[in-house]
Amino acid sequence: MCAATAAAQGQSVLIVDHADKAGKKILISGGGRCNFTNRFTDSKNFISANPHFCKSALARFSAYDFIDMVETADISYHERKHGQLFCDDSARDILEMLLAPCRQHGVTIKLNSSISSIDKTDQFNIETTQGLFSADALVIATGGLSIPKMGATPFGITIAKQFALNINQPVAGLVPFTFTGIEKESLKSLAGISLDVTVSCRNQAFTEAMLFTHRGLSGPAILQISSYWKPGDAIAINLLPDMNIHEQLISKKQLRPDAQLSTILSELLPKRLVQILMKDGMGENKMRQLSDKQLQTITTLLQSWQLKPNGTEGYRTAEVTVGGVDTNELSSKTLQSKKIPGLYFIGEVVDVTGHLGGFNFQWAWSSGYAAGIAISQR
Ligand SMILES: Cc1cc2nc3c(=O)[nH]c(=O)nc-3n(C[C@H](O)[C@H](O)[C@H](O)COP(=O)(O)OP(=O)(O)OC[C@H]3O[C@@H](n4cnc5c(N)ncnc54)[C@H](O)[C@@H]3O)c2cc1C
């Protein structure tokens, strides 16, 4: 996006990438259909030490600007829940849409190129396996640390440090949770079960599907909350978010006093889950035997099931990196370093991380566009 924008404004642009193909993360995104943006993109959908930083770039190149590009390129797309937009056919359409203007405006793309050093004299000098290149402006767009198997590296962070820019500690985000001990064994026995829940942590809450896996918990609700979770935190899960559970239990007690609690709960939740929740034997009670206090305890358990992850699956499976180049180091309008004129950081390497749902690509497009325009106006 940045290269195409700058080249369309008449700049001579070279992209250096160590991968064997451009835009590999686009190709694997959204299950191969690329969730390329979100109709409801707003600064509230981003995590950053400075929540206002993303506003300028998002305003100047919005989700609707990207949708215009997609429609102009005749790419058919569809909307899924919460405003998420996906290609009908293939993520390749989005990649091709970005590569076409690069070709048209003469951008050179050097793939399979490792960068051994970068220094700054009156220009930036970039030493690569394909030769030495010099440029007035250098844009670092090396992404986050997730999926190292696909070529993700901490390169952007290393370069930021080399130029004495501050970093906000990167951690894996949009990532499944892992557990140890009894919790791990219990959750393992539920592997494959998926249900809609509200999961909360650190004053954030997401209502989406949650999936039990052999390692712990995954699914959209869990991925979303993982970007806020810190080691040592417990998460609270409302297993029946659409229901007034206490009222339900009182009414069942009146209507079916001889039914067992576990029978009643198994009508609301998967049976295997009820067995885990009722492992203290409480489920064997008949409804009429349960006091109001006990009904309240059961309500609290179902509304706020507390689990303490021991960690996450890490960058191996994370969709994004939370943290990165401190936004205080950059202009929000141009993405240029305040200390090093001509040096820009865009996309995921910056401490701006989107929620799940197309926001991370929108940040990449918006910040890339902002830097592309800024370079052309230097
Ligand atoms: C499995 C998966 C699915 C995703 N699905 C979605 C989705 O549907 N919607 C969404 O909004 N977001 C999605 N994301 C997140 C999204 O892919 C990223 O936020 C986005 O690609 C970031 O763009 P970027 O340009 O900053 O970095 P990237 O797209 O990661 O590009 C960085 C580039 O830098 C190159 N590079 C890295 N290190 C070096 C180095 N040392 N030398 C030379 N080149 C280097 C890489 O090869 C790569 O080409 C997904 C992520 C993953 C992992």
> Residue 229: which CATH number?
2.40.30.10
Q: Max alpha carbon distance in the chain (Å)?
A: 84
- Residue that finishes a domain, picked among 265, 286, 312: 312
Given the CA of residue 358, which atom of ligand 1 is nearest to it?
Answer: 11
165/185 same-domain check? no
Residue with tokens 């770039």: 57
CA 141 to chain centre: 17
- Whether 196 and 253 map to the same domain: the answer is yes
Residue 237, SS3 per DSSP: strand
The pLDDT value given to residue 331: 98
Q: Do 278 and 353 lie in a common domain?
A: no
- Kindly state whether residues 76 and 13 are assigned to the same domain: yes
CA–CA distance, 99 with 96 (Å, rounded to integer): 5
pLDDT tens per residue, the chain (378 residues)?
A: 999 999 999 999 999 999 999 999 999 999 999 999 999 999 999 999 999 999 999 999 999 999 999 999 999 999 999 999 999 999 999 999 999 999 999 999 999 999 999 999 999 999 999 999 999 999 999 999 999 888 899 999 999 999 999 999 999 999 999 999 989 999 999 999 999 999 999 999 999 999 999 999 999 999 999 999 999 999 999 999 999 999 999 999 999 999 999 999 999 999 999 999 998 899 999 999 999 999 999 999 999 999 999 999 999 999 999 999 999 999 999 999 999 999 999 999 999 999 999 999 999 999 999 999 999 998
Crossing angle for the helix pair 92-104 and 63-72, to the nearest 10 degrees: 80
Same structural domain for residues 160 and 11? yes
Rounded to whole angstroms, the Cα distance separating 209 from 232 reads 23
Domain boundary at 284, 312, 340, which?
Answer: 312
The single residue listed with the structure tokens 């990165």 is 324
Distance 195 CA to ligand 1 centre (A): 29
Q: State the residue range of the domain holding 330.
A: 2-173+321-376
- Whether residues 31 and 45 share a domain: the answer is yes
Q: Are residues 17 and 142 in the same domain?
A: yes
Token duo for residue 63: 């989700």
pLDDT on residue 151: 84
Last residue of a domain, one of 286, 312, 338: 312
Any idea what the CATH number is for the domain that residue 100 is in? 3.50.50.60
> Looking at the structure, do residues 125 and 15 belong to the same domain, yes or no?
yes
Q: How far apart are the C-alpha atoms of 94 and 69, rounded to whole Å?
A: 10
CB 366 within 8 A of CB 37: no
Nearest-angstrom CA–CA distance, 60 and 275: 53
Assess whether the C-beta atom of 155 lies below 6 angstroms from ligand 1.
yes
Residues 80, 154 within the same domain: yes
Q: State which of 24, 29, 110, 111 you would mutate to test the pocket of ligand 1, scoring each by most atoms of that ligand within 8 A of its C-beta.
A: 29
18 lines ligand 1 (CB under 6 A): yes
Which backbone phi and psi does 186 adopt, to 5 degrees?
Answer: -65, -45
Going by their DSSP bridges, the two strands 77-79 and 35-38 should be labelled as unpaired
Is residue 155 located within the same domain as residue 188?
no
Q: How many domains does the chain have?
A: 2
Residues 85 and 124 in one domain: yes
**What's at 336, amino acid-wise?**
Q
CB atoms within 10 A of CB 354: 25
Q: Which atom of ligand 1 is nearest to 30's Cα?
A: 8
Long-range contacts of 20-25 (CB under 8 A, 24+ apart): 20/111, 20/112, 21/111, 22/95, 22/99, 22/109, 22/111, 23/95, 23/98, 23/99, 24/150, 24/151, 25/143, 25/147, 25/150
What is the whole-number distance in angstroms between the Cα of residue 218 and the centre of ligand 1? 21
Predicted TM-score (pTM) of this structure: 0.96
Residue 352 in contact with ligand 1 by CB distance below 6 A: no
Query: What's 355's DSSP letter?
Result: P
How far does the chain reach from its first CA to its final CA, in angstroms?
18
